[in-house]
Amino acid sequence: MQSSAKTGASIGLKFSVLAGLLFLHLPVLLIFLYAFTTEEKSYQFPPPGLTFKWLAVTWGRQDVWEALGLSLKVASIAAIIGVLLGALCAAAISRSRFFGREVISLLVILPIALPGIVTGIALRSAFSLAEIPFSFWTIILGHATFCVVVVYNNAIARFRRTHGSLIEASMDLGANSFQTLRYVILPNIATALVAGGMLAFALSFDEVIVTTFTSGQQTTLPIWMLEELVRPRQRPVTNVVAMVVVLVTFLPILGAYYLIREDESDRNTR
């Protein structure tokens, strides 16, 4: 008994792990399944029949295309803002010592710790006070608050591992600040920035709460889905869209994961 417990008498353990994983992921598979059901009105199980027609129907729905386009635009611009500001902020925090450094570092990370609803309400009242009309750009501003954090966290970890002497070495070999940035700093933090940007993109792409508070008439894809669930027209179309959302967010996150991991192992063998 003793030895089998050590080597893996974990049939029970294996089972509960499997059960846990299924519990997490079966519902997602069900969403996929119902994207192909022939039954339009309800989630009947098992589905009475399977069909590809919803893909075509979704393809033809103008509102889906608009929402998808808006979400892609918002996520891209928010991620770019996140990369720019996050990288600059990480560079400042990691390379210099100044009064209030810790406070700034904390304030930058805060938006991701704050519940989205608090961020949303705060932004909404701030926009109203400043009489900024809600638009495409207010959504982007809302999303940028957490995009900056994601990139910042990635970049600062990389800066910490990049020796200050690399910059000095570059200067010593005749490079001025811009050349050092271009040939030494950027290549060293590039993967961290790309990974951070991908995560930020994925987070922004499926964001609901902050968007609800900062959008005007615009409907991003997640908001569109929420509305569809409340007032369904063609249920399976929502499921098709859900599949697209999973793919659009899953691939960048997977990419970011591999980028960071490969880089990590590369560095560890140094």
Partner 1 sequence: MESAVGFENLSCHFGEIRAVGNVSFEVKKGEFFAMLGPSGSGKSTCLRLIAGFQKPTSGRIKILGEDVALIPPYRRKVNIVFQDYALFPHMNVSENVAYGLLIKGVSKPDRVKAVDQALDMVRLSGYGRRKPNQLSGGQRQRVALARALVNKPEILLLDEPLGALDLKLREQMQEELKDLHRELGITFILVTHDQGEAMSMADRVAVFSEGKIAQLGTPENLYKYPQSPFIASFVGSSNVLSPEFVDFLTGRKRWASLRSEAISLVGATDESAQVTGTILSNIYLGSSYRITVDAQGQRLRVLIPAGCLLPVEGETVGLSWSGSDFHLMEDELT
How many residues touch partner 1 under the rule CB under 8 A: the total is: 21
- Using DSSP's 3-state secondary structure scheme, residue 208 falls into coil
Q: How far is the CB of 165 from partner 1 (least distance, A)?
A: 4
CA distances from residue 186 to 65, 92, 208 in whole angstroms, order as listed: 36, 14, 33
If one asks whether residue 248 binds partner 1 (CB under 8 A), the answer comes out as no
Q: Examine residue 46 and say whether the peptide bond preceding it is cis (omega within 30 degrees of 0).
A: yes
State yes or no: residue 175 binds partner 1 (CB under 8 A). Answer: yes
Radius of gyration of the chain (CA): 23
**In the set 3, 7, 62, 269, which binds partner 1 (CB under 8 A)?**
269
Select from 176, 217, 230, 231 the one that contacts partner 1 (CB under 8 A): 176
CA 94 to chain centroid, in Å, comes to 24
Q: Which of 110, 173, 251, 254 binds partner 1 (CB under 8 A)?
A: 173
Report the nearest approach of partner 1 to the CB of residue 180 (Å): 9
Q: How many of the other CB atoms lie within 10 Å of CB of 134?
A: 18
By CB under 8 A, residue 183 contacts partner 1? yes
Nearer to partner 1, 173 or 254 (CB): 173
CA–CA gap between residue 211 and residue 38 (Å, rounded):
33
207 CB-near residues (< 8 Å, 6+ apart): 116, 143, 146, 220, 222
User: Whole-number minimum distance, CB 270 to partner 1, in Å?
Assistant: 4
CA distances from 104 to 92, 107, 156, 163 (A): 10, 5, 13, 23
Task: Classify 50 as helix, strand or coil.
Answer: strand
Question: Is residue 178 part of the contact set for partner 1 (CB under 8 A)?
Answer: no
Q: Which of 67, 140, 184, 195 binds partner 1 (CB under 8 A)?
A: 184
* Piece of the chain touching partner 1 by CB under 8 A; list 83-91, 105-113, 183-191, 233-241: 183-191
For 242, phi and psi rounded to 5 degrees? -60, -40
Piece in contact with partner 1 (CB under 8 A), picked from 130-138, 184-192, 210-218, 251-259? 184-192
CB-nearer residue toward partner 1: 59 or 258: 258
Question: According to the binding rule CB under 8 A, does residue 169 interact with partner 1?
Answer: yes
Binding site for partner 1 (CB under 8 A): 163, 165-166, 168-176, 179, 183-184, 187-188, 266-267, 269-270
